[in-house]
Structure 1
């Protein structure tokens, strides 16, 4: 058996380690498939990894292959991969020795025809529209004359120059440019960040917040404008609190940001025209309105002047208006002297009447009366005080006498309480003695009843208790057989005995005698003190 195993192991095949075999397979696959184009649907795409690489799968209805896009390849890809998109990937097939898997390293990625992109765009449009991002109720009205305009576009293209030139021609205002990529990987994220950045500016910040935003780009193919169909851009435009104008592509080009924006402009130049009015037209309109206002004011003043003149003619003269008040004034002035004389006479009479009651004799008599009244009140107060003090002195004397007699009363009361306590003690002793006597009589009577019911009184009359080997009383002769050890209990003690001869019992019909249990009686059981049992 051992020789057979030795012969099997000795072959001409070359031995490879796992690493060598995996490396050989890797070189073979990379040599055979160093440049391939694969068409399939993107599956499992979750964006770029923290390392910058992206890992996903390409699949069709029968198979799938792992795919990877390295970090350095992403800038060269014209559009961003998305879940479910049908694409054509160009790259090379390699293996991953760590898990024995093969994958395609993508160097270029393009959509599988415009039809695939249009289908994806339509599906995304329906989904975002179902969320209400394109509703008219969400859209804002553009300000008539913005002071600051924010532009999100590429700083190097012709679009920004056209917008600035058009704004300066129509109505020069301050323009803030947020430079972004408008094509390729990451363009959608930059545009969305720019829109959110403008909205994040505070009203009182160092840079004034724009009153209107313009997202602009020149024309191009569907792949070139794909960044403006990004879901992040659409959501940022829909959430913008600043009115937003979408000016992406030419008039025939439509992107999803056009649906989410507040206003869509056919071209970037048209967006600038929508954002600001024409200053010359405003000046002409203002001059026309000023002239009309002046004419209206002049005509109004003339009409009011005529109305005032008509009212003046209808009013009476100044002499007619002041004739009646002047007459009343003259009459009042004529009667003022007479009234003053009468008032003086009346006041003098009142003074004389008051002075007649203020003679010196009357005041002296009234002062003497008040002094006598005060003296009488002082004397009455002193007498009342003396009576009160005498009353209090008597009350204090009585209280002192009561306090002096207090110890004698307390001593008598204490003596009475002691006698009462002694009487209660005697009564308690007598009650306890009577109670003990009654309890002793009751116990004696119960003992007599117990003694009369005890089986030992029966033994004194000549009876005996037969106990078996288990020291229990035997009540039937059938329970004992020949040669059984028993004990007989008399009134004065117990003795041991053995049964002998046949046992005659009166058997009942139909009842078979039970065999007796064999048990050896222990000596200590025979010598034990008798137990209290029931009467037999």
Structure 2
């Protein structure tokens, strides 16, 4: 009869049982995950991985999540917020980088990943690829458009310079400005390389742009963003998007002088003018003072010549016309001859007229004898004796004058200023006796005199001035009866 099998003979039993001589206890999932995590971190505590970024995502907490991949494998990665703040560039999908950190496991998903301490672009080729990608994106936004470029001022009064205060760049700029045209320069010291350089440069540009012309610090008329030469890594801060946008949005014209002539950054594309060197930027900013003075002197000389030229030309034309004109003696010769003739005729005429006057005077003198004068007096006395004056000739003008006088007298009596007093009116006078015709004038006086037909009445408040002697009323003259018969007049010569 066969023996029933025991648990020791059946290794695939339904219930797990301890085997004799077996001291291995079963592990929990957490325990094995912890063991795996410790093993991986101890074995791969420091690694440098090269790969292409994919699925880059920055969480609200500031942590960065991404994946590193190559042609055959993918590895998840995480970068904590403290490390992301030290990044010198903005991670993007498709960028080939070198990640430095340690490998660890994530038990929640049974995955292993790398905790990244630092990210670097994998070589200059990858850096140039990132640069070209950023340039294309910003150009598509129109930040490099030609119509956005602002003209540079011809002679800026104040120039702002954004650069390092300790390098040779600022000395070269100040030296060139002093040689060409001394100007007021405001230097904003910034880092031009390394961590935080892009933020400082963009902040300086924005502060300059936001200055008010009435502030204590004058607002520059022109900005120069400058840095000396270097590798692409040294100049990378001027390729950052924050710097490019600050230059493009600046309301002040900007000259970019980053690196040497062969170096090109995105800041050069966004600036209003690119200078090959910082010294060249200073030469672009201001003209040469000596040349301006020479130009102004030349303009002044040209202006003087332009003013004097018409005068000189007029003088030449006048001299030419004077040469063509006849001489003064020639023009006056006929008139001089005529004057001599008229003078001779005048002399002869006066002589002849004097002779005629003497003859007439002699004839008149001959007629003025005493006998002739006596005879003329006798004839005049005889004519006077025959004359008699007619009374009507004298009385008529007297009568007409008397009638006119009576008419004027009647009119004067009607127009006399005191004539209305007989009809109940009164004349208002001031203390000086002047007649007042208005209420405003009367209100200004403290005392008034009212003249009536039969006398004057003083009215007023306070001291009363002495009464004004009324003007006597002129009575119309009495009509005289004229005699109709003309008066007789004796003969004046009888």
Q: Same fold (TM over 0.5)?
A: yes
Indicate how the Cα distance of structure 1 residues 47 and 147 shifts in structure 2: closer, same or farther if over 3 A, else same: farther
Structure 1 distance, partners of 2:267, 2:217, is 26
Indicate how the Cα distance of structure 1 residues 136 and 49 shifts in structure 2: closer, same or farther if over 3 A, else same: same
2:208·2:220 contact (CA, 8 Å) conserved in 1?
Answer: yes
CA offset digits 1:314-355 (Å, max 9, x no partner):
xxxxxxxxxxxxxxxxxxxxxxxxxxxxxxxxxx99x96972
In the other structure, the counterpart of 2:53 is 42
Matched, 1:159 2:212: no
1:58·1:67 contact (CA, 8 Å) conserved in 2?
Answer: no
Matched, 1:250 2:285: no
In the other structure, the counterpart of 1:133 is 143
- Of the three residues 227, 238, 242, the one matched with 1:228 is 238
1:246·1:264 contact (CA, 8 Å) conserved in 2?
Answer: yes
Indicate how the Cα distance of structure 1 residues 300 and 38 shifts in structure 2: closer, same or farther if over 3 A, else same: same
In the other structure, the counterpart of 1:71 is 82
CA offset digits 1:455-478 (Å, max 9, x no partner):
xxxxxxxxxxxxxxxxxxxxxxxx
- Of the three residues 207, 212, 217, the one matched with 1:202 is 212
Alignment gaps of 5+ in structure 2 = 1-12, 322-400, 425-494
Return the TM-score normalized by structure 2: 0.56
Structure 2 distance, partners of 1:38, 1:353, is 144
Structure 2 distance, partners of 1:193, 1:353, is 111
| SS of residue in 2 equivalent to 1:127 | helix
Structure 1 distance, partners of 2:137, 2:414, is 119
Structure 1 distance, partners of 2:288, 2:42, is 67
- Of the three residues 168, 177, 187, the one matched with 2:187 is 177
Structure 2 distance, partners of 1:362, 1:206, is 84
Structure 1 distance, partners of 2:209, 2:138, is 21
| SS of residue in 2 equivalent to 1:358 | helix
In the other structure, the counterpart of 1:358 is 411
Cα deviation for residue 181 of structure 1 reads: 2.4
Indicate how the Cα distance of structure 1 residues 92 and 237 shifts in structure 2: closer, same or farther if over 3 A, else same: same
Structure 2 distance, partners of 1:354, 1:91, is 139
Structure 2 distance, partners of 1:246, 1:362, is 101
Structure 1 distance, partners of 2:211, 2:414, is 99
Indicate how the Cα distance of structure 1 residues 16 and 131 shifts in structure 2: closer, same or farther if over 3 A, else same: same
In the other structure, the counterpart of 1:290 is 300
Which has a greater percent of helix?
1
CA offset digits 1:414-451 (Å, max 9, x no partner):
xxxxxxxxxxxxxxxxxxxxxxxxxxxxxxxxxxxxxx
Indicate how the Cα distance of structure 1 residues 130 and 220 shifts in structure 2: closer, same or farther if over 3 A, else same: same
Aligned residues: 327
Structure 2 distance, partners of 1:353, 1:251, is 121
- Of the three residues 87, 103, 125, the one matched with 1:93 is 103
Structure 2 distance, partners of 1:171, 1:228, is 28
Q: How does 1:368-383 map to 2 (within 5 A)?
A: none
Indicate how the Cα distance of structure 1 residues 290 and 148 shifts in structure 2: closer, same or farther if over 3 A, else same: same
Structure 2 distance, partners of 1:192, 1:362, is 100
1:153·1:160 contact (CA, 8 Å) conserved in 2?
Answer: yes
Indicate how the Cα distance of structure 1 residues 102 and 299 shifts in structure 2: closer, same or farther if over 3 A, else same: same
